[in-house]
Amino acid sequence: MKFNSLDEAVAVFIDSAIIQDNSSKTGDYKTGNKAEDKIRASLKYIWQNNPYFISNLLDHENGNVRNWTAMFWLSVNEEQALKVLEDIANSKTFYAMEAKYCIIEWKKGNLTSDQWER
């Protein structure tokens, strides 16, 4: 996927994260998988151009946007990202389990910025 600007990449990221959120809740895995591909492509572009551009999304109203942003943010500001992920993990939301395991895998060293650099 090709982007012309950070604004475009962020818009695709937000839209795709919301689509993935909705499709996860309805069981539409095909739509969810396509959305995840767009999420990863947009985050890669953001990482390569200005990772700080999405810091404001750590407070986004959509839980999936917030969760993806926090996972991405681990490589930029670990302390801030872990706080957001811990808040999500301690909530009674759809994303709590994913956030919990993200924290565990990050602390084990299994998650790195490599996924955004490739």
Q: What is the distance, to the nearest Å, from the Cα of residue 57 to the centroid of all Cα atoms in its chain? A: 9
1 located within any domain:
no
pLDDT for 111: 85
The residue count for the chain:
118
103 located within any domain:
yes
Residues 88 and 63: beta-carbon distance below 8 Å: yes
- Mean pLDDT, all residues of the chain: 93
- Mean of the pLDDT values across residues 65-79? 94
Q: What is the CATH number of the domain that holds 41?
A: 1.25.40.70
Tell me the DSSP string of 24-60: HHHT-HHHHHHHHHHHHHHHHHHHHH-GGGGGGGGG-
pLDDT bin (cut points 50, 70, 90) of residue 117 is low
pLDDT for 118: 56
97 located within any domain:
yes
45 located within any domain:
yes
pLDDT for 94: 87
pTM comes to: 0.91
Higher-pLDDT residue of 111, 96: 96
**Domain range for 10:** 6-117
- Mean of the pLDDT values across residues 63-72? 95
- Give how many domains the chain has, as a whole number: 1
- Rounded to the nearest 5 degrees, what angle is found at the Cα of 109, between the Cα atoms of 103 and 114? 100
Q: To 10 degrees, what angle do helices 63-73 and 29-49 make?
A: 40
pLDDT for 116: 61
The residue whose two tokens read 């990221």 is: 13
